[in-house]
Chain A
Amino acid sequence: SQTIHQWPATLVQPVGSPLSLECTVEGTSNPNLYWYRQAAGRGLQLLFYSVGIGQISSEVPQNLSASRPQDRQFILSSKKLLLSDSGFYLCAWSPGHGSYEQYFGPGTRLTVT
């Protein structure tokens, strides 16, 4: 069966510090991968998605970036965090190839102080 991991589970970082959040998927190959942000009490905002290694699409302009160095690894980064980057970050995967339901990881709670 497929599983999706995210780490860390929680993170407190000062403004201006760098960020690296990691997401890995097991039990499948060539998945579509997604990064979402969920602000407190709000819905989901799609940040990035990837259909393959090195292929990243950005949905909104921001100071975040994403990379996919391996087939089942998706990394969310920032060089300098802003207060507004605080939120709950969710990674998700979908099988692709006509099947697009998404399966979510447990999330990372980021607080920028």
Chain B
Amino acid sequence: GDSVTQMEGPVTLSEEAFLTINCTYTATGYPSLFWYVQYPGEGLQLLLKATKADDKGSNKGFEATYRKETTSFHLEKGSVQVSDSAVYFCALDNNNDMRFGAGTRLTVKP
């Protein structure tokens, strides 16, 4: 079945550092891809999405590009802030079958 694999955390960075969280997927057909963010004690928030190959999703300085040739959707941000500390989930949806990665905890230190 479809699945999502994302890099294990935790990831600890200093403020203004460059962030990459890797995500790869296995799926049949043409899934949509998502990144969600979960702040402590809260539900998940949709951060960005891409619905077809080569699409780039972006929001709040975060970006991810749907790479069908490498089945990847890596999350990047050029300069992280302390407020970006959260758990990040990569997900795919394939015809209303949503699969989530295990989540990557990011801690940004001042």
Q: Which residues of A contact B (CB under 8 A)?
A: 6, 32, 34, 42-44, 46, 90, 92, 94, 96, 100-107, 109
For the complex, give the distance between the alpha carbons of A70 and B36 in Å.
28
CB closest chain-B residue, reference A32: B96
Chain B, interface SS category: strand
> Which positions in B face A, CB cutoff 8 Å?
32, 34, 36, 41-46, 49, 89, 93, 95-96, 98, 100-103
List A contacts of B34 (CB < 8 A): 101
Q: Complex Cα distance A47/B89, Å? A: 18
A96 to B93, CA, bound (A): 12
Q: Is the CB of A43 within 8 A of B43?
A: no
Query: Could you tell me the distance between the alpha carbons of A104 and B49 in the complex, rounded to whole angstroms?
Result: 15
Q: Which residue of B lies closest to A9 (CB)?
A: B41
**Given known contacts A43-B89, A44-B89, A107-B43, is B32 in contact with A100 (CB within 8 Å)?**
yes
Are A106 and B42 within 8 A (Cβ)? yes
Across the interface, B102 reaches (CB within 8 A) one of A34, A43, A106, namely A43
Q: Give Cα A102 to B49, complex, Å.
A: 11
A43 close to B100 (CB less than 8 A): yes
- Interface contact B43-A42, CB-CB below 8 Å: no
Given contacts A101-B32, A101-B34, A101-B93, contact A44 B43 (CB under 8 A): no
CA distance A107 to B42 in the complex (A): 6
Beta-carbon nearest neighbor of A105 in chain B: B43
- Residue in chain A with minimal CB distance to B49: A101
Q: Kindly state the separation between the CA atoms of A27 and B24 in the bound complex, as whole angstroms.
A: 34
How many angstroms from the CA of A11 to the CA of B103 in the assembled complex? Answer: 25
Known contacts A43-B89, A96-B96: A104-B45 contact under CB 8 Å: yes
Complex Cα distance, B41 from A92, in Å, reads 16
| B29–chain A nearest beta-carbon distance, Å | 13
Contact of A100 with B44 in the complex, beta carbons under 8 Å: no
A32 to chain B: which residues have CB within 8 Å?
96
